[in-house]
Chains A and B, each alone.
Chain A
Amino acid sequence: MELLIFYPLAGLCVALALGVIFNNSPVGSAIALIGMMLCLSGIFVLQQAHFIAILQIIIYAGAIMVLFMFVIMLLNLKQGETAGWVAREKNLLLSILTGLLAVGILYKIAQVLFSGNMDAPASLADSFGTVAVIGETLFTDFVLPFEVASILLLAAMIGAVVLAKNKLD
């Protein structure tokens, strides 16, 4: 029954991701990306990871995409937009080979995934994915990564201010 919800969500995800990379205007790409984030949060809800789903909306659709929109509006992107998404002439062969490799790997992954027989999934606890369980794991087993992440975010904050403030000489 969940498949009936999964297929439309996944199809919308893939379609919007294609919309991101094939859109000519950056604003259109950003809006497609916001739609993709929202569909992904729906998929997280389907996996019963409610905390991650909420984080996905708050961090990605709320914070990161607002930052993207700000930068798109700050930069004047009118000029040089006509180039579109043509492959670079100098490494056309390399692009084609890499694209073929990517599609080939995808095909191989699909073949392996659907031919292997897996164990039945573990029975899911009622508390799976709730804030309480995630918080308990985060503050017992993963305290050190949590603290390191705080340092990383501080460094990123200072770095962003320093980089955006000064004129490069």
Chain B
Amino acid sequence: MFESTVPLPHYLMLSATLFVIGIVGVLIRRNVIVVFMSIEIMLNAVNISLVAFDHYMNLSSGQIFSFMVMCVAAAEVSVGLAIIIALHRNKPTVNLDEFNLLKW
């Protein structure tokens, strides 16, 4: 009745759903920290499909790629949160719409 392993489309579907949720989060939220978390959701969604294809084709390079994605995510979070702290010192708010210094 059930297949012994989970078919590939299920993993890809989960990955696409999480990615869309991340995009929606970036679009509808104004809190800069929550927007940042939505970006993390998108990075994680990509990791799922990388590992799923790896599992499907019995390779290990996809896992290396998801390892690199985690590296980039760690670097991005540390720099991004430092920028948020610096911004917050300059202007005490976390609302993205109020940061319009670079807009013209």
**A contact set with B: CB distance below 8 Å:** 1-4, 6, 10, 13-14, 17-18, 20-21, 23, 26, 29-30, 33, 36-37, 40, 43-44, 46-49, 51-52, 55-56, 59-60, 63-64, 67-68, 71-72, 74-77, 79-81, 83, 85, 87-88, 95, 98-99, 102-103, 105-106, 109-110, 113-114, 118, 121-125, 128-129, 133-134, 137-138, 141-142, 145, 149, 152-153, 155-157, 159-161, 163-164, 166-168
The A interface is mostly helix, strand or loop, or mixed, namely helix
Asked if residues A153 and B64 are in contact (CB atoms below 8 Å), the reply is: no
Asked if residues B24 and A99 are in contact (CB atoms below 8 Å), the reply is: yes
Within 8 A of A (CB), among B23-64: 23-25, 27-31, 33-34, 36-38, 40-41, 44, 47-48, 51-52, 54-58, 60-61, 63-64
Contacts known (A51-B63, A98-B27); A121 close to B56, Cβ less than 8 A: yes
Q: List 11 A-B contacts (CB under 8 A).
A: A60-B40, A68-B33, A71-B85, A75-B85, A85-B28, A95-B27, A109-B12, A121-B5, A122-B56, A153-B71, A161-B82
Using Cβ atoms and an 8 Å threshold, which residues of chain A touch B23? Answer: 98, 102
Q: Mark B50-91, 1 if CB is under 8 A from A, else 0.
A: 011011111011011011101111111111011111111110
Using Cβ atoms and an 8 Å threshold, which residues of chain B touch A37? Answer: 44
Known pairs A71-B81, A164-B82; list 7 more (Cβ under 8 Å).
Answer: A14-B17, A49-B54, A64-B74, A122-B57, A129-B60, A149-B72, A168-B89
Asked if residues A137 and B4 are in contact (CB atoms below 8 Å), the reply is: no
| B: contact size bracket | 35 or more
**B contact set with A: CB distance below 8 Å:** 2-14, 16-18, 20-25, 27-31, 33-34, 36-38, 40-41, 44, 47-48, 51-52, 54-58, 60-61, 63-64, 66-68, 70-79, 81-90, 92-95, 97
Asked if residues B29 and A85 are in contact (CB atoms below 8 Å), the reply is: yes
